């Protein structure tokens, strides 16, 4: 048994992944929560988490957590956990700018015996082939002699109040056998669900990549079914419900695939495969199907409007939801924007109503002004995101008998909708 960790932990990046992690570790250890966004740090100091993942009470009770936007505070720490975003660029290639910048910053304060643990989603090999050289070059220290690394892929599920950080089993790894055991022991000390020690950093990195690639491929299959059954005038949801009566049928549902994981991670795996001379077919074909669903939804709605006798140009449409998933404020990589833009090209007047979303963020990132509430009558209403709060809406107050109601999530009563995805 290794001795209990007595140093200080730094969590770099206080977003959807970093903040819950920092809160959990601060229940037992001294933790520095560091973020370059001074506004974000100031909000958290006031007890306000705009992601709505951590309550004001939990922030107030985190007595061992110190929040800072000053990188010099990192010099006090011995373990550095990196949770910065790893998106893709406009060409669907991995964007490591924030990851490498964080590594460069940490390197200034690395000391003998320190450990850097990465949680950001990457392709297999990224930690040791891309991040470690930055750490070594900027610190002047030797890898696996003076400093060490670990990788523990994040498994945060935004909006999920059941499968929280401590309730999800965590994969861990380290650059040496001793480091691996230290990293595993550190996480295991705060995670109720326990840990799984992977045999290498690359295995841990790969496990994260395939978790979401697998879901992406499965969803792309049912999305393709939706495209096929639409041409047959068959309700896809009814087909899936019938098929699900078999014990080993996997009941995935069609829909828009966005967010920070499923819509991004497969590109990391594909990028690495292509760099080695293998061009993945299944992974990228699944991505192509899922990336076209916004256009399909928009065109389907236009057909529904025409079928009910509406003039397309100038018709008012209400989109319910802009976040990438239900009961969550996260708008990262939301594909609702694809629907919005395609409908705009048809000349439709579109309102988006989403009480979960930040109006300021929607305007700054997408140029979309969110509606404070449904206003007037709409020729069409599309339930895009199944927030529970929409169950309280009185659809009769903003629709009439001729309005089109399109339920992408198959949660509304069947008799009230014109079509489901």
Total Cβ atoms within 10 A of residue 57:
9
d(CA 128, CA 246): 44
Gyration radius (Cα) of the chain, Å? 23
d(CA 254, CA 226): 7
Cβ neighbours for 209, distance < 8 A, ≥ 6 positions apart = 121, 122, 123, 124, 265, 266, 268, 269
d(CA 379, CA 400): 8
End-to-end CA distance of the chain: 54
- Buried/exposed code over 1-21 (b: 16+ C-beta within 10 A; e: otherwise): eeeebeebbbbbbbbbbbbbb
- Buried/exposed code over 97-119 (b: 16+ C-beta within 10 A; e: otherwise): ebbbebbebbbebbeeebbbbbb
Cβ neighbours for 37, distance < 8 A, ≥ 6 positions apart = 14, 69
Continuous segment of H or E residues that includes residue 10: strand 8-12
Active-site choice (77, 149, 261, 328): 261
Active site residue 328: no
Active site residues: 261
């Amino acid at each position: 048994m290794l001795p209990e960790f007595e140093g200080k932990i730094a969590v770099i990046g206080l977003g959807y992944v970093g903040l819950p992690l920092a809160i959990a570790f601060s229940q037992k250890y001294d933790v520095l929560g560091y973020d370059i966004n001074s506004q974000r740090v100031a909000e958290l100091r006031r007890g306000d988490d705009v992601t709505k993942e951590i309550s004001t009470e939990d922030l107030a009770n985190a007595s061992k957590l110190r929040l800072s936007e000053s990188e010099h505070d990192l010099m006090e720490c011995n373990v550095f956990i990196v949770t910065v975003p790893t998106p893709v660029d406009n060409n669907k290639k991995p964007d490591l700018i924030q990851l490498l910048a964080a590594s460069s910053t940490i390197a200034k304060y690395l000391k003998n015996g320190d450990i850097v643990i990465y949680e950001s989603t990457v392709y297999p090999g990224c930690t040791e082939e891309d991040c470690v050289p930055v750490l070594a070059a900027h610190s002047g220290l030797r890898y696996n002699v003076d400093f060490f690394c670990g990788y523990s892929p994040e498994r945060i599920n935004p909006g999920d109040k059941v499968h929280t950080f401590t309730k999800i089993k965590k994969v861990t790894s380290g650059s040496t056998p001793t480091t691996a055991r230290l990293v595993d022991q550190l996480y295991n000390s705060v995670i109720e669900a326990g840990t799984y020690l992977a045999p290498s950093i690359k295995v841990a990195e790969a496990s994260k990549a395939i978790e979401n690639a697998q879901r992406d491929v499965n969803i792309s299959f049912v999305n393709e079914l939706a495209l096929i059954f639409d041409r047959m005038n068959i309700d896809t949801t009814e087909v899936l419900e019938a098929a699900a009566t078999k014990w080993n049928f996997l009941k995935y549902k069609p829909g828009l695939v966005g967010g920070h994981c499923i819509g991004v991670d497969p590109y990391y795996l594909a990028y690495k495969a292509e760099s080695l001379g293998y061009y993945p077919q299944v992974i990228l074909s699944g991505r192509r199907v899922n990336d076209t669903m916004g256009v399909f939804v928009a065109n389907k709605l236009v057909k529904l409007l025409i079928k009910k006798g509406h003039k397309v140009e100038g018709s008012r449409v209400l989109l319910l939801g802009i976040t990438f998933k239900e009961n969550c404020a996260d708008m990262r990589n939301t594909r609702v924007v694809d629907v919005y833009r395609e409908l705009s090209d048809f000349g439709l007047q579109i309102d988006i109503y989403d009480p979960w979303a930040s109006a300021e963020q929607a305007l700054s990132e997408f140029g979309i002004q969110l509606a404070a509430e449904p206003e007037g009558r709409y020729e069409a209403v599309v339930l895009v995101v199944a927030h529970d709060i929409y169950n309280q809406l009185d659809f009769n107050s903003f629709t009439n008998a001729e309005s089109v109601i399109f339920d992408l999530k198959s949660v509304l009563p069947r008799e009230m909708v014109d079509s489901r995805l």
